[in-house]
Amino acid sequence: MHKGRCQCKSVCYEFGGSPLTCYACHCSDCQSATGSAFTLSMIVNQSDVSIIEGDVAVARFTHNGADIERHCCAMCGSALWFAGKDYPGILALKPGAFDDTTWFSPVAHLWVRSKQPWLVLDSSIKQFEKQPEMSELFGLWASLNTK
């Protein structure tokens, strides 16, 4: 069981399953949505996530053409996870919010064609110029994480 919290600590959630995959996305939508160089996402089954406390607000945006709901802390606005009707039953958790972040690492870098030029990636981690199939990302995670 892994617990995650927003930055102001008013929202706490629990994740009780195994991730389907974890990746970093360097697309321009992720860069402008966060004001940062890339985002980290952990794809999980929605049924494995439960909110323990706090109020969650929902905002809407598009990511590479898909309509996405951004679930965030109603107090501080920290992103907790993303959901989309094109991806029923799964969430993209923002795993930097876990109390313990030592047990996972991304298995791929997405949209490296729009990656910031100063960012040097570990060449042993798979890189995709654009958006790969989710099934390919699930397979990469499964092959690198024995569970």
Where do contacts with Zn ion occur on this chain (CB under 5 A)? 6, 8, 10, 25, 27, 30, 73, 75-76
- Looking at the Cβ atoms of 6 and 42, the one nearer to Zn ion is 6
Minimum distance between the CB of residue 143 and Zn ion, rounded to whole angstroms?
Answer: 23
Residues in the chain: 147
- Looking at the Cβ atoms of 37 and 76, the one nearer to Zn ion is 76
Q: Which residue has the tokens 């919290």?
A: 5
Tokens at 115, concatenated: 């990656």
Minimum distance between the CB of residue 8 and Zn ion, rounded to whole angstroms?
Answer: 3
- Residues whose CB falls within 8 Å of the CB of residue 41, separated by 6 or more in sequence, listed in order: 22, 23, 24, 25, 82, 92, 93, 94, 95
Angle 7-96-143 from CA coordinates, rounded to 5°:
160
- Looking at the Cβ atoms of 56 and 144, the one nearer to Zn ion is 56
Minimum distance between the CB of residue 29 and Zn ion, rounded to whole angstroms?
Answer: 5
Distances (CA, A) of 18 to 99, 110, 130: 16, 21, 26
Minimum distance between the CB of residue 1 and Zn ion, rounded to whole angstroms?
Answer: 21
- Looking at the Cβ atoms of 25 and 40, the one nearer to Zn ion is 25
